[in-house]
Amino acid sequence: MITGRTRVYALVGHPIRHSLSPAMHNELFRRLGIDAVYVALDVRPERADEVGPAIRTLGLAGCNLTVPFKERVLPALDGVSAEAACAGAVNVVLNEEGRLVGHNTDGEGYLRALREELGVDVSGRRCVILGAGGTGRAVGAALAAAGVASVTWLNRTEARGAAAMEAIAPRFSGVRFAAGPLAAEAFAAQPWSLVVNCLSGAGVPSVVGFPVAGLAEGAVWTDANYWMADPPLLAACAARGVRIQRGIGMLMHQGARSFELFTGRSVDSDTIRGVLDIGGW
């Protein structure tokens, strides 16, 4: 029963019709007896400057942010967590009595999923991240904090990859950072031991021809996007014995952390799996 006391949370992005977040959060609210509702708000990218004021004006209790708002909402916030400041992007905004505070659960969610599903220790790995948007920056920062040997961003706009490198590199003196074009030649330059595809659907044509034969022994290819039926190069990697991971695990873990920030109630991965009805993960 929705009443005038029901707290309202939202997912803000474009496009968002594919998102599993509303189903996940609303079922968790129901199971735990929390008087709240979670809705999806499709907001045009050109209205990004209005997102922060809208959260205040409408009295939303909190929001998840997805493409393309993770970086563009920052000027409207009153504060950010250490993780969000490092990543230069937020995917959670809490409305603390009119004060908007940004958090980032993407990096933590990615690492938790990688450890749980594949038992992968990222320390010492040479990592390449395809895409330097909000998700790519957050994952890169989390990998650096976890002790990888190197992080390289390959992006269609090279300047964006360079910006991610310049923002994050000073915080991690023991990690090598680089940036380059989203091109087969740049991908083939090193025998990567961890690949993270953080590109949206529009970036798929750029990577379908990347050579996976040169990946390092024991390499892992991961995809942050969970909604693609056939993510690029996953099948090719699997055929060569490269371990692969789809994005649903990252969704579960970053969503669980978001839910904890929203409500103060923790949920484990088994609960999230049950909510999303994805038994067997």
The residues, any chain, with a CB within 8 Å of residue 16's CB and separated by 6 or more, are: 40, 41, 42, 66
Give per-residue burial for 97-112: e unless 16+ CB within 10 Å, then b: eeebbbbbbbbbbbbb
Q: Given 25, 52, 62, 70, which residue is catalytic?
A: 70
Active site residue 70: yes
Q: Which two tokens stand for residue 176?
A: 């090598």
Torsion sign across C-alpha atoms 267, 268, 269, 271: negative
Other beta carbons less than 10 A from residue 170's beta carbon:
9
Sheet of 220-223, strand order? 176-181, 150-155, 126-130, 194-197, 220-223, 243-245
Residues annotated as catalytic are: 70
